[in-house]
């Protein structure tokens, strides 16, 4: 089941930032990047939950 990307600019920016960081520094821990993105883009608890689920479910790979 595919999760639809929310329209939030903050979420989109966070996903782009995490993806970029993973390409440049592939050894970085995903959970650390998610936490940094939550703070960097001032995500709400609901947005933070979406972001964590998006990456932990492997759906980010499907979006590539």
Q: Yes or no: say if 45 and 51 are a contact pair by the CB < 8 Å rule.
A: no
DSSP string, 24-38: H-TTS-HHHHHHHHH
Backbone region of residue 61 per phi and psi (left: phi > 0; alpha: psi in -120 to 50; beta: other values): alpha
Q: In the block, which residue shows the tokens 């998610």?
A: 34
- Say which residue, 43 or 2, is predicted with more confidence: 43
Please count the CA atoms within 13 angstroms of the CA of 35 that sit on its side-chain side: 5
pLDDT computed for residue 38 by the predictor: 97
Asked if residue 14 lies in contact with residue 42, where contact means CB atoms within 8 angstroms, the answer is no
What's the pLDDT at 10? 94
35-59 pLDDT, tens digit per residue, is: 999 999 999 999 999 999 998 887 6
What's the pLDDT tens digit per position in 23-36?
Answer: 888 788 999 999 99
């Amino acid at each position: 089941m595919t999760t639809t990307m929310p329209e939030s600019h903050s979420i989109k920016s966070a996903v782009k930032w995490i993806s970029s960081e993973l390409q440049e520094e592939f050894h970085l821990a995903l959970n650390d990047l998610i936490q940094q993105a939550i703070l960097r883009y001032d995500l709400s608890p609901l947005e933070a939950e979406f972001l964590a689920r998006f990456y932990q479910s492997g759906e980010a790979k499907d979006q590539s």
